[in-house]
């Protein structure tokens, strides 16, 4: 019986190493509220990401939501964003009483099309919230230019891009956390780097760091002075400890993901009708995802059929991202995907194939063989 293959599997450390890391928590009995592990992880992440301030939070969603809140935008302000993302990005805007304005995406990187942002700017626009989709980096230079011209904040949803670096036009390499006013990460169990649940807001601005410190703790400045309508979004010590241990092994995990990525390329390249994961030049990828577009016109069969066949073989890929967030049930009648046709097309073709550090290369072969034989069996050619 072949084993079940899921789209992802969490990176998990050696048990003894984790137990060792949490021993001091049992001594201190300090379980949450910015304890020793929390402080240590923030410090290590600042170094790893090359950024002055890292504010740990309970998950990536709250990183987005509290970042938006931290800027005190006027109610009803417009945020230019992408529909080709996890629903969290759009919810974060709406839950802040702001209005998402959907911009179409680039057909290669699947990130927001920076050339289409400017015509969406109105006098109500307050921010741009782009997403580094599948770890592809947005056109950060163009976005910075637009933001400067119209005095907008840029809040990156960098949930897919942890630890990546990119060489820009000037040839200098920069960490992904350094773009925009803030960059938000998710450390959810399914991400390249995890703290079980968790996230962080990165910036070079101490004011933002201090605001977030309060916002994630009920807006409490000190016991008798509550300065904001805060939430409870603190990362606990056991999660921070998980992060400290996982961070040590991250380079190995990424190297193993890279092997999986390369195996897919070897097996699936040069097939008319398949478009494989794009990695832009100058990018040091974290190999978080392996999305493939299936072109029905060329293949004679569509993404859903491939997905169904994989499932018959106990292989669970994911239609990621489908539906678009502007087509989500909850937003029917409120938003629409009419103005984002490229996102509609890609969302209808994309299937994220399984990728994780411990995915055996034999299993990658098995996945590819199922896809290839289905194309040969049913396809037109």
Ligand X SMILES: *Cc1c(COP(=O)(O)O)cnc(C)c1O
Instruction: Give the residue with the Cβ less far from ligand X, 91 or 275.
Output: 91
Is residue 83 at the binding interface for ligand X, with CB under 6 A as the rule? no
Among 186, 214, 340, 349, binds ligand X (CB under 6 A): 186
CB of 299 to ligand X, least distance (A): 28
Go through 233-265 and write b for each residue having 16 or more CB atoms within 10 A of its CB, e for each that does not: bbbbbbbbbbbbbbbebbeebbebbeebbebbe
Is residue 309 at the binding interface for ligand X, with CB under 6 A as the rule? no
Instruction: Give the residue with the Cβ less far from ligand X, 85 or 347.
Output: 85
Is residue 85 at the binding interface for ligand X, with CB under 6 A as the rule? yes
Is residue 194 at the binding interface for ligand X, with CB under 6 A as the rule? no
Is residue 8 at the binding interface for ligand X, with CB under 6 A as the rule? no
Q: How many CA atoms lie within 13 A of 352 on its CB side?
A: 17
Alpha carbon distance 162, 200 (integer Å): 10
Give 182's strand partners: 155
CB 84 within 8 A of CB 96: no
Instruction: Return the beta strands (E) in 58-175 as ranges.
Output: 78-81, 99-102, 125-129, 153-157, 165-167, 173-175
CB of 59 to ligand X, least distance (A): 4
Q: How many helices (H) and strands (E) does the chain have?
A: 11, 15
Is residue 318 at the binding interface for ligand X, with CB under 6 A as the rule? no
Name the one range near ligand X by CB under 6 A: 53-61, 143-151, 233-241, 289-297.
53-61
Is residue 355 at the binding interface for ligand X, with CB under 6 A as the rule? no
Name the one range near ligand X by CB under 6 A: 59-67, 70-78, 268-276, 306-314.
59-67
* Segments in the chain forming alpha helices (H): 15-28, 36-49, 60-70, 87-95, 140-150, 206-215, 237-268, 296-299, 303-312, 341-349, 361-378
CB of 310 to ligand X, least distance (A): 22
Is residue 188 at the binding interface for ligand X, with CB under 6 A as the rule? yes
CB 128 within 8 A of CB 79: yes
CB of 344 to ligand X, least distance (A): 18
CA distances 178 to 212, 237, 288, Å, are 17, 26, 19
Is residue 256 at the binding interface for ligand X, with CB under 6 A as the rule? no
Is residue 153 at the binding interface for ligand X, with CB under 6 A as the rule? no
Q: What is the DSSP secondary structure assignment for residue 102, as one 8-state letter?
A: E
* Segments in 230-332 forming alpha helices (H): 237-268, 296-299, 303-312
Instruction: Give the residue with the Cβ less far from ligand X, 275 or 318.
Output: 318
Name the one range near ligand X by CB under 6 A: 5-13, 143-151, 152-160, 207-215.
152-160
Q: Which residue is nearest to ligand X (CB)?
A: 60
Helix, strand, coil percentages in the chain from 3-state DSSP, rounded to 5: 40, 20, 40
Instruction: Give the residue with the Cβ less far from ligand X, 60 or 243.
Output: 60
Q: Is 112 left (phi over 0), alpha (psi -120 to 50) or beta?
A: beta
Among 5, 8, 42, 61, binds ligand X (CB under 6 A): 61
CB of 223 to ligand X, least distance (A): 29
Is residue 86 at the binding interface for ligand X, with CB under 6 A as the rule? yes
Instruction: Give the residue with the Cβ less far from ligand X, 113 or 157.
Output: 157
Is residue 159 at the binding interface for ligand X, with CB under 6 A as the rule? yes
Name the one range near ligand X by CB under 6 A: 26-34, 155-163, 340-348, 351-359.
155-163
Is residue 347 at the binding interface for ligand X, with CB under 6 A as the rule? no
Residues near ligand X (CB under 6 A): 59-61, 85-86, 88-89, 131, 157, 159-160, 186, 188, 199
């Amino acid at each position: 019986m072949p084993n079940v293959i899921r789209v992802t599997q969490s990176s998990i450390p050696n048990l003894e190493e984790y137990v060792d890391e949490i021993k001091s928590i049992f001594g201190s009995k300090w379980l949450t509220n910015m304890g020793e592990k929390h402080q240590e992880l923030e410090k290590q992440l600042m170094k790893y990401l090359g950024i002055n301030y890292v504010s740990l939070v309970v998950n990536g969603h709250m990183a987005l939501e509290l970042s938006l809140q931290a800027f005190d935008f006027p109610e009803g302000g417009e945020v230019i964003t992408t529909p080709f993302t996890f629903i969290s990005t759009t919810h974060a805007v709406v839950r802040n009483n702001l209005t998402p304005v959907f911009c179409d995406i680039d057909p290669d990187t699947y990130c927001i099309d920076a050339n289409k942002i400017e015509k969406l700017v109105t006098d109500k626009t307050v921010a741009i919230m782009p997403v580094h989709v599948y770890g592809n980096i947005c056109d950060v230079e163009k976005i910075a230019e637009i933001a400067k011209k119209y005095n907008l904040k840029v809040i990156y949803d960098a949930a897919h891009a942890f630890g990546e670096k990119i060489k820009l036009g000037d040839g200098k390499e920069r960490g992904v956390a350094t773009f925009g006013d803030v960059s938000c990460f998710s450390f959810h169990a399914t991400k390249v780097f995890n703290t079980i649940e968790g996230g962080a807001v990165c910036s070079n601005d101490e004011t933002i760091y201090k605001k977030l410190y309060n916002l994630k703790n009920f807006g409490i400045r000190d016991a008798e002075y509550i300065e904001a309508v805060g939430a409870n979004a603190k990362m606990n010590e056991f999660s921070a400890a998980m992060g400290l241990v996982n961070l040590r092994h991250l380079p190995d995990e990424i190297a193993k993901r890279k092997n999986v990525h390369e195996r897919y390329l070897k097996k699936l390249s040069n097939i008319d009708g398949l478009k494989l994961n794009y990695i832009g030049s100058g990018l040091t990828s974290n190999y978080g995802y392996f999305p493939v577009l299936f072109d029905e016109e060329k293949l004679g069969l569509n993404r859903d059929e491939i997905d169904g066949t994989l499932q018959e073989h106990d292989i669970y890929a994911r239609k990621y991202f489908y539906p678009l967030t502007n087509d989500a049930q909850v937003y029917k009648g409120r938003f629409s995907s009419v103005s984002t046709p490229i996102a509609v097309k890609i969302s209808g073709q994309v299937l994220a194939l399984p990728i994780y550090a411990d995915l055996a290369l034999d299993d990658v072969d098995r996945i590819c063989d199922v896809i290839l034989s289905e194309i040969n069996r049913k396809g037109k050619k």
